[in-house]
């Protein structure tokens, strides 16, 4: 009998180790193994700086953006099982794409919820990209060797907007049609914009060809590019030595070491802490200063906190999706423009500018803003090099005093765009006239 138990245990052990390769004890070795023997976890370092898990450091904004991407991928794949990117008029006189939306809302099990989730997550992702960018800039995390990652991040931001925009057309309702129509009309103003517009739409106007192109971009091309760039973005964070932090963190208030869990030392050399010496990833000398003492095992604290953010996000998205339905209007009708016709909210600042002057508002200002922001760290380096002002840049410090001017300008830019978007969303009525939000007519801008 005992023999049988022993055999079963042996089998069980073999089975277990073939899958996990480690136990769940408190030794440093195990904590390291958990991280680097798991494909999902090994993206993160085995040991992290204590300040990385503090809320103040990142506010979880980048992580939330990434999770939203995952949620969008998952819900998007589910939606793909039902959606048809066709404007062909179905048997009941509605375009196929649109009647699929009606089906999602009425008789596809859980369809309405999944669509709501996808819609709200998409809007959320655009917003969180902007917030993440603001956080990075205000805490100076785009400097100190991380300049190119900022550029990658900016490209990711533009891709997010473009993904959201291509998805906006797919329901093929009035909101979608006229929102996209306005956006592509703005594109016409740019030099060469008409050609890009033609390539995007595949036609002289938004129609069936545009729908299939937007669909392919939305479900295949852009997510693939995005996935690759996300990998680059994360990889560079690792190679740049983790989250940006000032050289000396000894004065900062940190989460106490006990919070990171006990580490049992079962090494033969009780006094040695050999694992600390393999931490050398970057820098000219081994980390033998106080820095080493600040490094803690990522397992379990970091992982738990990341899961917390994910669970919180899913709970919040579910809450919103249960109680608020994604907008759907009448089927797209090229002959009856909605009045006002509004682009999606993240383009409404642009539309507001265009309403003042097509070329300056539609091309010059947004071009300067988008291009300028993308190369912003290099502008800073350029100015510093040529004026020989070698400032002590403090990466990872919120509102560093040396960076007051830059921070103020950056915040002003955000407030400017935010004001324009708020005007565009809430204060523009019929014929783009100024109205009060409480007189606002439904239509556009969701």
Partner 1 sequence: MIKDYRVMLALALAGFVLLALSLARQMQPEWAKHQKAYYKQLDTADAVVEIKQVNVNAPQGGIVVDRCQSCHVGASNPDAQGFGQPIAAHPPIVPGLEKDPHDFGKMGCAVCHDGNGRALEKHDAHGEYHGWPHPLLAGKTAQANCNRCHAMESGTLAGAEVYEKGRELFLEKACWGCHTIAGISTTSQAPELTDAGGKFTFEYLEESIVEPSANIKNSKMPRFDWVHETETVEALATYLKGQQKNRLRSADSAPIGYQKPPSIEQRIASPSVDAGRALFAGVAYEGSISRGGCINCHAFRNGDGDLAGGQIGPELTWSLRARGRTYIKEHILNSRSHVADSIMPSFKDYNDAELESLVAYLSTFDYKADSDDGAKLYDTYCLSCHGENLDGKGAVSTMLDPLPRAFRYQFVESYETRFKESIRNGIKGTAMPMWKNVLDDKEIDALIAYIKERSLAGAPRHFTRLEAPLPRPGDPERVDFKGKGLELEAGDPARGGEAYQANCTACHGKLGNGKGPNAYLLEHPLPRNLLNKEFFNQPAVTDERLYQSILLGVPGTPMPAHDHLRDQTILDIIAFIRANTTEESVQ
Q: How far is the CB of 74 from partner 1 (least distance, A)?
A: 13
> C-alpha distances in angstroms, 50 versus 200, 219, 281?
47, 38, 17
As measured in angstroms, the least distance from the Cβ of 167 to partner 1 is 19
Work out how close the CB of 54 gets to partner 1 at its nearest, in angstroms, rounded to a whole number.
Answer: 13
Q: Closest approach of Cβ 96 to partner 1, in Å? A: 13
Structure tokens, 99: 């009647």
Q: How many CA atoms lie within 13 A of 139 on its CB side?
A: 19
Q: Indicate the residue among 61 and 373 with the shorter CB distance to partner 1.
A: 61
Query: What does the alpha-carbon distance between residue 73 and residue 62 come to, in Å, rounded to a whole number?
Result: 17
Shorter beta-carbon distance to partner 1: residue 166 or 338: 338
Those residues with Cβ within 8 angstroms of residue 341's Cβ, 6 or more apart along the chain or in another chain = 178, 179, 181, 182, 444
To the nearest whole angstrom, how small is the minimum distance from the Cβ of residue 92 to partner 1? 5
Nearest to 45 by CA among 302, 362, 269, 381: 302
Would you say 92 or 285 has its CB closer to partner 1? Answer: 92
Residues making contact with partner 1 (CB under 8 A): 89-93, 99, 102-103, 105-107, 109-110, 112-113, 173-175, 258-261, 300-301, 304-305, 307-308, 311-312, 314-315, 318-319, 321-322, 328-331, 333, 338, 442-443
Four-point Cα dihedral 266, 272, 278, 281, nearest 10: 130
When the beta carbons of 278 and 311 are compared against partner 1, the nearer one is 311
Q: How far is the CB of 84 from partner 1 (least distance, A)?
A: 15
Q: How far is the CB of 291 from partner 1 (least distance, A)?
A: 23
CB of residue 439 vs partner 1: minimum separation in angstroms? Answer: 15
Nearer Cβ to partner 1 (292/309): 309
Whichever of 312 and 372 has its CB closer to partner 1, that residue is 312
Q: Name the minimum Å distance from CB 172 to partner 1.
A: 12
Nearer to partner 1, 102 or 161 (CB): 102
Residue with smaller CB distance to partner 1, 98 or 137: 98
**Residue 338 Cβ vs partner 1, minimum distance, rounded to whole Å:** 7
Shortest CB 312 distance to partner 1, Å: 5
Query: How many residues are given for the chain?
Result: 446
The backbone region for 242, taken as left when phi is positive above 0, alpha when psi lies in -120 to 50, beta otherwise, is left
Nearer to partner 1, 89 or 196 (CB): 89
CA atoms within 13 A on the CB side of 441: 13
Nearest-angstrom CA–CA distance, 412 and 373: 13
Dihedral, CA atoms, 261, 264, 270, 275, nearest 10 degrees? -60
In order of 67, 242, 296, 414, the CA distances from 40 in angstroms are 13, 17, 19, 35
- Report how far residue 328's alpha carbon sits from residue 48's, in angstroms, rounded to the nearest whole number: 46
d(Cα 301, Cα 53) in Å, to the nearest integer? 8
Residue 333 or 384 with smaller CB distance to partner 1: 333
Q: Are strands 47-49 and 295-297 parallel, antiparallel or unpaired?
A: antiparallel
How many Å separate Cα 83 from the centre of its chain?
Answer: 24
| Radius of gyration in angstroms for the set of CA atoms belonging to the chain, rounded to a whole number | 26
The answer to whether 158 and 370 have CB atoms below 8 angstroms apart is: yes
* Residues 259 and 54 sit within 8 Å (Cβ to Cβ): no
In whole angstroms, the minimum distance from the beta carbon of 301 to partner 1 comes to 7
Could you write out the DSSP letters of every residue in 58-98?
Answer: HTTHHHHHHHHHHHHHHHHHHHHTT------B-TTSSBHHH
């Amino acid at each position: 009998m005992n023999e049988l138990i022993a055999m079963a245990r042996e089998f069980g052990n073999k089975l277990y180790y073939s899958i996990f390769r480690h136990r769940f004890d408190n030794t440093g070795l195990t904590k390291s193994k958990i991280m680097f023997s798991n494909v999902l976890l090994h993206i993160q370092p085995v040991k992290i700086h204590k300040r990385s898990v503090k809320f103040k450091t990142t506010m979880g904004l980048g992580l939330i953006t990434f999770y939203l991407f995952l949620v969008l991928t998952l819900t998007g794949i589910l939606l793909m099982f039902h959606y048809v990117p066709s404007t062909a008029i179905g048997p009941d006189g509605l375009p196929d794409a649109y009647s699929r939306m009606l089906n999602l809302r009425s008789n596809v099990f859980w369809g309405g919820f999944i669509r709501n989730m996808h819609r709200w997550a998409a809007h959320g992702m655009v917003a969180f990209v902007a917030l993440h960018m603001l956080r990075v800039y205000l805490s100076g995390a785009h400097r100190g060797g991380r300049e190119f990652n900022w550029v990658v991040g900016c490209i990711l931001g533009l891709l997010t907007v473009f993904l959201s925009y291509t998805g906006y057309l797919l329901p093929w309702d009035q909101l979608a049609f006229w929102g996209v129509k306005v956006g592509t009309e703005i594109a016409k103003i740019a030099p060469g914009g008409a050609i890009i517009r033609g390539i995007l739409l595949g036609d002289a106007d938004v129609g069936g060809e545009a729908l299939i192109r937007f669909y392919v971009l939305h479900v295949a091309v852009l997510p693939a590019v995005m996935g690759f760039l996300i990998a680059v973005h994360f990889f560079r964070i690792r190679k740049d030595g983790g989250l940006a932090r000032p050289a000396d963190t000894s004065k900062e208030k940190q989460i106490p070491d006990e919070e990171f869990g006990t580490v049992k030392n079962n090494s033969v050399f009780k006094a040695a802490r050999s694992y600390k010496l393999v931490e050398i990833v970057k820098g000219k000398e081994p980390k033998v200063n106080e820095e080493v003492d600040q490094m803690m095992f990522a397992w379990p604290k970091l992982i738990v906190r990341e899961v917390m953010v994910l669970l919180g996000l899913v709970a919040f998205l579910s809450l919103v999706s249960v109680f608020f339905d994604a907008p759907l209007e009448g089927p797209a009708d090229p002959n009856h423009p909605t009045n006002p016709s509004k682009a999606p909210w993240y383009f409404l600042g642009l539309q507001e500018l265009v309403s003042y002057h097509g070329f300056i508002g539609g091309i010059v200002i947004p071009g300067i803003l988008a291009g300028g922001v993308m190369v912003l760290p290099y502008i800073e380096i350029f100015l510093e090099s040529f004026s020989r002002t070698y400032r002590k840049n403090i990466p990872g410090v919120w509102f560093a005093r040396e960076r007051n001017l830059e921070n103020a300008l950056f915040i002003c830019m955000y407030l400017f765009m935010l004001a324009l978007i708020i005007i565009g969303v809430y204060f523009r009525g019929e014929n783009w006239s100024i109205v009060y939000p409480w007189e606002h007519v439904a239509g556009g801008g969701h």
